[in-house]
Amino acid sequence: MQIKTIGVIGAGQMGNGIAHVCALAGFDVSLNDISAERIEAGLATINGNLARQVASGRISEDQRNAVLASIRATENLEDLADADLIIESAVEDEDIKRQIFAKLAPIVKDSVILASNTSSISITRLAAATLHPEQFIGIHFMNPVPVMELVELVRGIATDDATFTAVREFVSELGKTIAVSEDFPAFMVNRILLPMINEAIYTLYEGVGTVEAIDTAMRLGANHPMGPLQLADFIGLDTCLSIMQVLYEGLADTKYRPCPLLVKYVEAGWLGRKTQRGFYDYRGETPVPTR
């Protein structure tokens, strides 16, 4: 299997980053989303990130122009028909992801490799929603994709060796480092990271410390580059909650119970940076803690 053309479904925070790194590595990319507005926003983000890379000397202006020329925007899944690899990067909702793969079934070629950028959902279950589960794999990029070096590769129970080998070579061409995870809830990174974030939210919920105190303690006391509540806002509190729910339901252990305060923030629509409010309020010049 040789991968030359890439389809990316979802032009949001993760999807536009995946399209960016694929095009920068020389692949032809089709970037799909449900509306022109979403795609335009994704392309604007790519353009801005490329401009920063040019300014820092990491890439040339010619490379930037080549990347932008290599990405085709489309609202139609039919335009992904010739893709060798399609990476789904939609919202972290299993039903929505399964619907996407069901829609792709009559469109794609028989040899296509289908992948999900899910950060927590079972690859084996998602593969079962496709016609060729042996050609399905998890490719979990880290956020922000153009900056972070790691990619988790996750084989479902049916994923065959040819699919794994082709995708491993593809990720290597992106210049990323691969960590192979078994198909268990939240894989490796988020199984370790999200319970820590959830515990930080419990620490806030129980009044042990303020938002600022908790983040300062972990930045300076554990040498973390970003405090856990600041990181939760960056990830998106809805995504944090989804991953904790997957862990709680999949492993049936009370230590993974989502903190009620996290649930309350999500119910309020305070999802972090993307909605301008989460554990911090981002509407002013500098972020201000909301608790």
Same domain, 193 and 177: no
44/160 same-domain check: yes
Say whether both 39 and 163 belong to one domain.
yes
Q: How many domains does the chain have?
A: 2
Q: What would the pLDDT profile of 79-101 be if each residue is shown by its tens digit?
A: 999 999 999 999 989 999 999 99
Residues 123 and 246 in one domain: no
Average pLDDT in the 39-59 region? 96
Can the peptide bond before residue 146 be classed as cis, meaning omega within 30 degrees of 0?
no
Confidence grade of residue 276 (pLDDT, cut at 50, 70, 90): very high
For residue 26, which phi and psi values (nearest 5 degrees)?
100, 5
Both 239 and 148 in one domain: the answer is: no
- At residue 12, does pLDDT exceed 80? yes
CATH number of the domain encompassing residue 167: 3.40.50.720
Q: Are residues 243 and 175 in the same domain?
A: no
Q: Which of 140, 181, 198, 242 is catalytic?
A: 140
pLDDT score of 28 more than 90: yes
Percent of the chain at pLDDT exceeding 70: 100
Last residue of a domain, one of 141, 162, 181: 181
Distance separating alpha carbons of residues 203 and 209, to the nearest angstrom: 6
pLDDT score at 170:
98
Average pLDDT for 5-9: 98
Structure confidence at residue 266 (pLDDT): 98
In the set 119, 120, 122, 181, the catalytic residue is 119
Annotation marks residue 132 as catalytic: no
The answer on 242 and 275 residing in a single domain is yes
pLDDT of 216: 98
pLDDT at position 1 over 80: no
Domain that holds residue 40: 5-181
User: How many percent of the chain have pLDDT more than 90?
Assistant: 98
Q: Of 147, 162, 181, which residue is a domain's last?
A: 181
Kindly state whether residues 124 and 163 are assigned to the same domain.
yes
Same domain, 160 and 242: no
Give the DSSP letter of residue 91. Answer: -
CATH number for position 220: 1.10.1040.50
Residues 69 and 173 in one domain: yes
Task: Identify whether residues 159 and 207 lie together within a single domain.
Answer: no
pLDDT tens sequence across 133-155: 999 999 999 999 999 999 999 99
pLDDT tens digit sequence for 104-128: 999 999 999 999 999 999 999 999 9
DSSP labels, 242-278: HHHHHHHHHH--GGGPPPHHHHHHHHHT--BGGGTBS
pLDDT at site 2: 87
Identify the active-site residue in 30, 122, 152, 242. 152
**Residues 186-238: pLDDT tens digits?**
999 999 999 999 999 999 999 999 999 999 999 999 999 999 999 999 999 99
| Domain final position from 165, 181, 197 | 181
Q: Of residues 117, 120, 190, 242, which has the active-site annotation?
A: 190
User: Is the predicted pLDDT of residue 15 greater than 80, yes or no?
Assistant: yes
Q: Is 219 helix (H, G, I), strand (E, B) or coil?
A: helix
92 is catalytic: no
Instruction: Let me know whether 30 and 55 are in one domain.
Output: yes
249 a catalytic residue? no
140 is a catalytic site residue: yes
Burial class from Cβ neighbours inside 10 Å (0-12, 13-18, 19+) for residue 265 reads buried
Query: What's the Rg (C-alpha) of the chain?
Result: 19
